[in-house]
Each structure stands twice: as structure tokens, then as C-alpha cells.
Amino acid sequence: MEIHPLQLELYGDLSCPWCYLGKHRLARARAAAGMPPTTLRFRAFQLQPQLPAHGLAAGPFYSQLFGGEAAREQAFATVASLGAEVGISFQLGLISKMPNTLLAHRLVKLAARQGAEESVTEVVFGAFFERGVDIGNRDALLGELEQHALPLDLKALADQLATGEATDEVHADAAVARSLGIEGVPCVVASGQVALRGADSVEAMTSALRGIGAGIG
């Protein structure tokens, strides 16, 4: 069933495993629902905006978040299993630093100006969750982009990141999220209305997208 094009926005944080999982599930759901591949925009949402710019040690952070090491390992195993179903190779044990994601979100915003929002978002997610890269570090982020040989002006990106450019765009996304009542991510907004909350199954997302399409048909 083919549905009419509409603007989809995925609100998520680049250090949130459920957002990475939700992004991949949504991609499969869009394909199953007959959605054009150019209808998704990534919107910034920081789950931990209070973290210091240099981040925190990941081990203690995750242990506190999940209520102990055993619970942390169980959560990691669950995420890894679910990720494998959609082609993500989660390597959460490689993460040594829990970053403040403002820098990474700014990078995505700046890359969008060069027409590379989707590819850069995927690289940043993969760098953090599959390779344990500190995505709160500018040089590490730019190094990832260089390794992937993306068609980007890396010099311009480096200069823009150094000056704080696009910070207002990240904060603007957060303001819109608040106005929509979004308190957790991932969250999908369709044509300005919240349509999906959480990293639901591909089947559930497909059904929801078809419903949205029928509603605007």
C-alpha cells in the first residue's frame, strides 16, 4: 500500500540506544509502508543536557542508571539482541565515556546544510554504539567522518563546530519538543503531530504509518 508523502521527524538523542534502534526500525517500516526515502528529518533531543562538556565515565554512569552492574549487563544484552534484528551491532561494552551530546547534535545540524543529515546521523550513532567513539570530542567526530569518506567540507565543519554554530538550532528542536509534549525519545512526529512514541516493533510502526497515510489520502 503506497501512502502519500508527508514530513516525518524523528526526535532522538545520539547517545540513546533506543533511538538508534528506533531509527532502523522506522526505516524498515517506511519501506514496508511504501514511504519515499526522503521524508525523514532527525531532530535533536538531549536526555542528559546537564552532563559536563567532557562527559562522564560510562561504567559508573550506566550502573547508576540501571541500578547496578548486573542490571546494566542485562540491559546491554537485551539491546544487543534487538539491534541484531535490524542490522545493528551494538558493542556497548566499548563505550568508556558518556558524552554530552550537544556537539554531536550540532554536527548533524551543520551536515544537514551540506545535504548529509542522514548519512552523518548514521555515522555518529554507529561511532558511539558500535565502535565506542567519544562523540563529545570534536576531533573524534571529524575523524569518523573522514574515515567514512563522506562528501563533506570537513574544514568548514571543523570551523563551525569551533565557533559554536548551530547551537541555537539544537535548542530550537528542544523547544518544539516541549511544545509537543515530548518528554522521552525516540518519538516520531508526522506533519507536526506526535505519531509514535518509543522504539516500537517494525510491524507496529508500519501499521501506524499506513494509518497516517490513509488519514491524509
Residue 2 belongs to some domain of the structure: no
**DSSP for residue 93:** G
**What's the pLDDT score for residue 3?**
46
3-state secondary structure of 188: strand
pLDDT class of 1 with cuts at 50, 70, 90: very low
Task: Output the CA angle 188-193-199, nearest 5 degrees.
Answer: 20
Which of the pair, 39 or 205, is modelled with greater confidence? 205
Question: Cβ distance 187 to 23 under 8 Å?
Answer: no
Per residue in 100-150, pLDDT tens? Answer: 999 999 999 999 999 999 999 999 999 999 999 999 999 999 999 999 989
Question: Cβ distance 116 to 152 under 8 Å?
Answer: yes
Per residue in 94-108, pLDDT tens? Answer: 999 999 999 999 999
| Domain extent for 168 | 8-216
- What Rg, from alpha-carbon coordinates, does the chain have? 17
Cα–Cα distance, 61 to 75 (Å, whole number): 14
For 186-198, letters b (16+ CB in 10 Å) and e give bbbbbeeeebbbe
> What contacts 165, CB < 8 A, 6 or more positions away?
106, 110
Question: Cβ distance 21 to 96 under 8 Å?
Answer: no
pLDDT over threshold 70, residue 189: yes
**What's the pLDDT score for residue 34?**
85
When the pLDDT of each residue in the chain is averaged and rounded to a whole number, the result is: 93
Cβ atoms < 10 Å from Cβ of 91: 15
Per residue in 154-167, pLDDT tens? Answer: 999 999 999 999 99
Residue 1 belongs to some domain of the structure: no
pLDDT over threshold 50, residue 6: yes
Residue 59 belongs to some domain of the structure: yes
Residue 3 belongs to some domain of the structure: no
Q: Is the peptide bond before 60 cis (omega within 30 degrees of 0)?
A: no
Q: CATH no. for residue 118?
A: 3.40.30.10
pLDDT class of 74 with cuts at 50, 70, 90: very high
List the single range of 10-14, 36-40, 188-192 with lowest mean pLDDT: 36-40
Q: Which amino acid is at 109?
A: K
pTM listed for this prediction: 0.94
Grid cell, residue 60, equals 559508573
Per residue in 45-67, pLDDT tens? Answer: 999 999 999 999 999 999 999 99
**DSSP for residue 50:** T
pLDDT over threshold 90, residue 181: yes
Of the candidates 36, 6, 42, which has an alpha carbon nearest to the alpha carbon of residue 23?
A: 42
The number of distinct structural domains making up the chain is 1
